[in-house]
Amino acid sequence: MSETPSTDLPPLGASEFQALRGLVLRETGVSLTDSKRMLVQTRLGRRVKALGLSSFAHYVELLEGPSAGDEYDQFVGAITTHTTHFWREAHHFDELRDRVLAPALKAGQRKLRIWCAASSTGEEPWCLAMTVADVLGSDLGRWDVRILATDIDHASLEKGSRAVYQYEVIEEHPKSKQYFLKGVGPRSGEVRIRDSLRSLVTFRRMNLIEPDWAPKAKFDAIFIRNVLIYFSPEAQLAVVSRLATFMADGAIMVLGHAESMVGTRAGLRAAGRGVFLKDTRP
Ligand SMILES: C[S@@+](CC[C@H](N)C(=O)[O-])C[C@H]1O[C@@H](n2cnc3c(N)ncnc32)[C@H](O)[C@@H]1O
């Protein structure tokens, strides 16, 4: 990652980095290695300056003090990585189609529950919705489909639910064009997901390392991609093991390509690149 270091502030010292790293780990499960010091300095430097503070030490004091308040949300949003794009690791959506949607259609199931557990700015859950719409076609309205999109970061969730992206998205992915409305006038550089898909996805804040989440449903597919890499090995295992308890019979869990070993460690059965099944064999 190459971000330009912030200027005009004293550099982030070792003890402040240590304090911030402890807060990040406690709040998000994200484990920052020593090599991330410059990245933290850059990302939080903007926040420190926006608050009119003169040093990282003052920022640590603020976060540790009684008036931290909403700054925690800003801190978490600034420190976590939200990189994502439409049709990232596209083969995973084919797996959803072949392993979940096609069998459900064949069995006349009529109900689908999908969870995107680190949805960032929405590209991933919208691709899930487009995949469902592609497979169900004109039957979509007769199905009970719900896609839960969760993330720790309020700003990302807000962008996801707004569902507005740059026009280039439909140039890069012409097959997805039918699911977007084009902006007009001053909004001609933008596209928005059509309402027929928007009604399928619910965005909700959820911190994966907090123990109090418990969605009511069992899910046919759980996508948890490119977030576990930031967690400690213990947190990775705890999160995946917990998510596995929300898998319906025959469900898949999908992990990012750098995270697959966590699925196996959690006792799931590998079924292809990043795709896991609940192992129900005796
Ligand atoms: C790199 S993005 C991955 C987005 C998407 N899943 C993808 O693969 O393109 C990682 C996301 O994980 C979220 N995240 C980080 N820690 C989290 C936590 N403890 N609970 C929930 N979401 C978290 C971040 O806010 C960020 O939006």
Query: Is 31 touching ligand 1 by the criterion CB < 6 Å?
Result: no
Which has the minimum average pLDDT: 6-10, 97-101, 115-119, 261-265? 6-10
CATH topology of domain 14-79: Chemotaxis Receptor Methyltransferase Cher; domain 1 (1.10.155)
What pLDDT does 3 receive? 53
- The catalytically annotated residue of 37, 43, 113, 225 is 43
Q: Which long-range contacts (CB under 8 A, 24 or more apart) does 46-49 make?
A: 46/6, 46/78, 47/74, 47/75, 47/78, 48/6, 48/9, 49/6, 49/8, 49/9
Q: How far is the CA of 8 from the centre of ligand 1 (A)?
A: 30
What are the start and end residues of each CATH 3.40.50.150 domain in the chain?
91-278
Query: Is 176 touching ligand 1 by the criterion CB < 6 Å?
Result: no
CB 152 within 8 A of CB 230: no
Query: Is 236 touching ligand 1 by the criterion CB < 6 Å?
Result: no
CB 253 within 8 A of CB 244: yes
CA-77 nearest atom, ligand 1: 25
Q: How far is the CA of 76 from the centre of ligand 1 (A)?
A: 11
Q: How far is the CA of 212 from the centre of ligand 1 (A)?
A: 18
Task: List the structure tokens of 263.
Answer: 């699925």
Give the max Cα distance, the chain.
63
Query: Is 81 touching ligand 1 by the criterion CB < 6 Å?
Result: yes
pLDDT reading at 282 higher than 70: no
**Known active-site residue 151:** yes
The tens digit of pLDDT for each residue in 51-78 reads 999 999 999 999 999 888 889 999 999 9
The tens digit of pLDDT for each residue in 261-275 reads 999 999 999 998 999
Query: Is 82 touching ligand 1 by the criterion CB < 6 Å?
Result: yes
Q: How far is the CA of 86 from the centre of ligand 1 (A)?
A: 15
The tens digit of pLDDT for each residue in 175-188 reads 999 999 999 999 99
Query: Is 157 touching ligand 1 by the criterion CB < 6 Å?
Result: no
Q: Domain 91-278: what homologous superfamily?
A: Vaccinia Virus protein VP39 (3.40.50.150)
**Known active-site residue 43:** yes
pLDDT reading at 1 higher than 50: no
How high does pLDDT run on average in the chain?
A: 93
Residue 145 neighbours by CB distance under 10 Å = 22
Choose which residue among 88, 96, 151 to substitute to test ligand 1 binding: the one with the highest number of ligand atoms within 8 A of its C-beta: 151
What are the start and end residues of each CATH 1.10.155.10 domain in the chain?
14-79
What pLDDT does 2 receive? 45
CA-223 nearest atom, ligand 1: 6
Query: Is 32 touching ligand 1 by the criterion CB < 6 Å?
Result: no
